[in-house]
Amino acid sequence: MKFRAKLVDAACLNNFTRVSNMIAKLAKTCTLRISPDKLNFILSDKVANGGVSMWCELEQENFFSEFQMEGVSAENNAIYLELTSENLSRALKTAQNARVLKIKLTNKHFPCLTVSIELLSVSSSSRVVTHDIPVKVIPRKLWKDLQEPTVPDADVSIYLPVLKTMKSIVEKMKNISNHLIIEANLNGELNLKIETELVCVTTHFKDLGNPPLASENASQDRNSEQMAEVHIDIRKLLQFLAGQQVNPTKATCSKFAF
Amino acid sequence: MKCLVTGSNVKVLGKAVHSLSRIGDELYLEPLEDGLSLRTVNSSRSAYACFLFAPLFFQQYQAAIPGQDPLRCKILMKSFLSVFRSLAMLEKTVEKCCISLNGRSSRLVVQLYCKYGVRKTHNLSFQDCESLQAVFDPAVCPHVLCAPARVLGEAVLPFPPALAEVTLGIGRGHRIILRSYQEEADSTVKAMVTEMSIGGEDFQQLQAQEGVAITFCLKEFRGLLSFAESANLSLSIYFDGPGRPAIFAIKDSLLDGHFVLATLSEPDPHPQDLRAPELQQPAPQLQAHSTPHLDDFALDDIDSYMIAMETTVGSEGSRTLPSTSLSPGFQPHCSPGSHSEEEDDTEPSTVPGTPPPKKFRSLFFGSILAPAHSPQGPSPVLAEDSEGEG
């Protein structure tokens, strides 16, 4: 197994750092999947326990000027590594003024992802920071649990309002209730609601727009005014919203019936 | 004793107290002829810190009432620090600070004269004590590094604030290397290892051989470093081999500060290996099998941490055997033009060019650390004379 990549562009580094920070905020350990074209960050807490699961895909070409990898074998040309997400974000944090950032898979008595950063320096001499992040290589037999989740057809799908706004609203609601009710319809309307014995607070969003639905049948059967409702743990939602550092072009919330 | 500090020096004094508070829980205040000394030592006697403020630092300085012996006292660091807790407040509102010690009263009085006629008086109780003396001499140390505090501040920036110990060494090409140090005992949870490599050109003085390295407490060092950074001073590091205390010093016309920190030494389990000639010359590359067994490492040897308490010079033996310096192949991971680009990562063995992360081996066995004869100069000794003795 081999992996070696080089990053030289400041904007790319910035984005990569933000992605890493977002992962670090969501879960303590994460899986990094390296394949010839992509890097994936995978969090797979069991959804049944109310955990957060996440699949994040980065096209390697968009970030790295050099990228070489050799997977476990020719048929299984991928590398799955488990690491502490905070280590990666901490390592990238020191790369604020980097000229060059190199990441490679190494073996220093145990497998490591070595992040090596050459810093811009005022003086003539170069400064190099190296971080050896311990990783665990995930064996081939566990790979099936870490595949891209299939997104089933949704009852309702809606574009979210600006995440920052949503975050500040949900944050205030957290003090009143542990559960949040999200209601959305195909008319671009979204409600965030909390209900307790004493009080009920609802925030209404209008004109949000809906992404085109995958299956034609579902949209025809459904009354566009009818709200689909889910109850979720407010803290988990906040964890997700707090972690968002990458400004999305579109964020979609979809509700499925199981 | 009476001294008056005015203007921006109040904040400087406050910062010094903050630095000292990183080391010990008790502050020894002693007015001397050459200035006011503030000293502290940590509970395990592995760190000693001292600031000496020259008489010119003060607007008024009176070490002792003529005819009387100068008084010394020991106060709780927490109490003294509480007076100078908020540096921002000191800078903005305090105009003068007066510290006085009267033999008759049992209180150390610290008065802060603030703006708008506000005067804050702190009466701190103290204990009489003997002088806290550490005998150390930077001139005896064979290795010296000196750099502006800013450079050292940037050097420690990549390390997490919680990191306890760091290894400082000289790598190939006269590069100064700092690396996070991890106790073997905690090997179940493997921690990230961070290494910072700086060119020797950034240093004002670099008198040390390649391969030399010492491991000391980063948290304690940060105490002095933050003071030096705020005062924009240069920081000098005088050191010997592992196991011998390292002296960190700053100096300007009005004050000087010394932090003496113990360094880690490991008793070497295979002394015969150390004498092996190939380890005495810097090898051009590291052999894959040269990595020694990591579990031979005895780290929790508290004796090796302690700055020598013995007053007798002949007890060199307690400070363990040859210490160790970094292995010959020690070099930064990505030195300019290095061969790291061609590293082959498929082999499970040690990647060439990468130093074994933890074990040190001696290059200088027999030269500096021969236990047979006592050291030339005064050995660093911390002796708090017990009461009743001379």
Among A70-74, A96-100, B214-218, B385-389, whose mean pLDDT is lowest?
B385-389
**Quick check: is B371 in a domain?**
no
Mean pLDDT of A70-89: 90
Q: Residue A205 forms beta bridges with which residues?
A: A190
Using a CB-CB distance cutoff of 8 angstroms, which residues of chain B are in contact with residue A4? 345
At A258, the pLDDT band (50, 70, 90 cuts) reads low
Q: For B87-136, what is each residue's pLDDT tens digit?
A: 999 999 999 999 998 777 788 999 999 999 999 999 999 888 888 888 78
Mean pLDDT of B49-57: 95
Nearest chain A Cα to B154, which residue?
A: A127
SS3 of chain A: CEEEEEECCHHHHHHHHHHHHHHHHHCCEEEEEECCCEEEEEEECCHHHCCCEEEEEEEHHHCCCEEEEECCCCCCCCEEEEEEHHHHHHHHHCCCCEEEEEEEEEECCCEEEEEEEEECCCCCCCEEEEEEEECEECCHHHHHHHCCCCCCCCCEEEECCCHHHHHHHHHHHHCCCCEEEEEECCCCCEEEEEECCCCEEEEEECCCCCCCCCCHHHHHHCCCCCCEEEEEEHHHHHHHHHHCCCCCCCCEEEECCC
The structure tokens 């810097």 sit at B282
- Whether residues A107 and B190 touch (CB distance < 8 A) is answered with no
Considering only the beta carbons, identify the residue of B346, B356, B357 that sits closest to A1: B346
* Two structure tokens written together for B283: 């090898």
pTM: 0.73
**Quick check: is B328 in a domain?**
no
Tell me the pLDDT of chain B averaged across its residues: 73
**Quick check: is B71 in a domain?**
yes
Chain A residues with CB within 8 Å of chain B CB: 1-4, 70, 84, 87, 90-91, 94, 102, 104-110, 114, 116, 118, 123-134
**Quick check: is B80 in a domain?**
yes
Is B350 touching A (CB cutoff 8 A)? Answer: yes
Question: Three-class SS of residue B75?
Answer: strand
Total domains, chain B: 2
- Whether residues A4 and B345 touch (CB distance < 8 A) is answered with yes
ipTM score for this prediction: 0.81
Q: For B304-316, what is each residue's pLDDT tens digit?
A: 445 543 232 223 3
> Which one, of A90, A80, A101, lies nearest residue A30 by Cα?
A80
pLDDT at position B103: 72
Considering only the beta carbons, identify the residue of A102, A118, A129 that sits closest to B194: A129
Structural domain harbouring B153: 138-183+193-264
Same domain? B175 vs B90? no
> Which one, of B175, B179, B181, lies nearest residue B145 by Cα?
B175
Same domain? B222 vs B173? yes
In chain A, % of residues over pLDDT 70: 88
Same domain? B20 vs B70? yes
Mean pLDDT of A144-150: 81
B158: CATH: 3.70.10.10
Using a CB-CB distance cutoff of 8 angstroms, which residues of chain A are in contact with residue B200? 125
At A218, the pLDDT band (50, 70, 90 cuts) reads low
Q: For A148-165, what is each residue's pLDDT tens digit?
A: 877 777 778 888 888 888
Q: Which of B264, B296, B323 is the last residue of a domain?
A: B264
Same domain? B213 vs B121? no
pLDDT at position A144: 84
Considering only the beta carbons, identify the residue of B198, B351, B356 that sits closest to A127: B198
- Whether residues B191 and A134 touch (CB distance < 8 A) is answered with yes
At A256, the pLDDT band (50, 70, 90 cuts) reads low
At B267, the pLDDT band (50, 70, 90 cuts) reads low
Considering only the beta carbons, identify the residue of B198, B351, B354 that sits closest to A125: B198
**Quick check: is B309 in a domain?**
no
The C-alpha atoms of residue A97 and residue A120 are separated, in whole angstroms, by: 6
CB B170 within 8 A of CB B225: no
Query: In a mutagenesis test of the B interface, which of A104, A105, A122, A130 is the best target, namely the one with the most B β-carbons within 10 Å?
Result: A130
**Quick check: is B287 in a domain?**
no
Is B333 touching A (CB cutoff 8 A)? Answer: yes
- Whether residues A107 and B351 touch (CB distance < 8 A) is answered with yes
